[in-house]
Amino acid sequence: MITLKGNNIFLRALEPEDLEFVYAIENDESIWEISNTQTPYSRYLIKQYLEHSQKDIFEVKQLRLVICNYKNDTLGLIDLFDFDFKNGRAGVGILIKAEVDRRKGYGSEALQLLVKYSFSHLGLHQLYCNISEENETSIKLFQAQGFEKVGLKKEWNYVNGSYKNEYLFQLIHK
């Protein structure tokens, strides 16, 4: 049995009951910069997404998991995206929704669980992430899990009237 359980949190598949949680995240303009979102999503589109979220990662090239504490509160989302089986890699994205739940180690534990799962169960060779040069919290999170800064994409994202640099981080399975 695959266990995606940590000391304080666990990761689970998306459920239809997550509609309002995902809707709130996808329509929160304050985090659109992180997810490269440009437009709001309707509940209808998110409902369709949730109905198809159980498809195999090898088919849809993405895996989105919900981060929960042991009170079964939904705290955030963690994703594998651009899953590339041939080259053994995938991108990683993570978000803890509520400010009050951030900086408590939930993101770190979730990332640790996903890294272990990606290498041991999916057989990936490497994971990568893209982080805004200004996002010091995420930079520290990924570096603490062994991700290395391997590049700077200059003026990569256009945000609020100006271009911002983005780092590329990589973790290669040894």
The enclosing domain of 17 has a CATH number of: 3.40.630.30
Report if residue 3 sits inside a domain.
no
Residue 77: other Cβ atoms inside 10 A: 23
Report if residue 159 sits inside a domain.
no
Q: What is the pTM for the complete model shown?
A: 0.89
Cβ contacts of 164 within 8 Å, gap of 6 or more: 132, 133, 134, 155, 156, 157, 158
Range of the structural domain that residue 72 is part of: 9-125
pLDDT of residue 32: 66
What is the domain count for the chain? 1
Report if residue 90 sits inside a domain.
yes
Per-residue pLDDT band for 148 (boundaries 50, 70, 90) equals very high
Predicted confidence (pLDDT) per residue in 61-114, tens digit: 889 999 999 998 999 999 999 999 999 999 999 999 999 999 999 999 999 999
Contact 33, 56 (CB under 8 A): no
**Site of tokens 């010091």:** 136
pLDDT of residue 1: 38
Report if residue 152 sits inside a domain.
no
Report if residue 150 sits inside a domain.
no
Report if residue 108 sits inside a domain.
yes
Report if residue 105 sits inside a domain.
yes
- pLDDT: is 86 or 25 the higher one? 86
pLDDT of residue 137: 94
Report if residue 143 sits inside a domain.
no
pLDDT of residue 36: 65
pLDDT of residue 134: 92
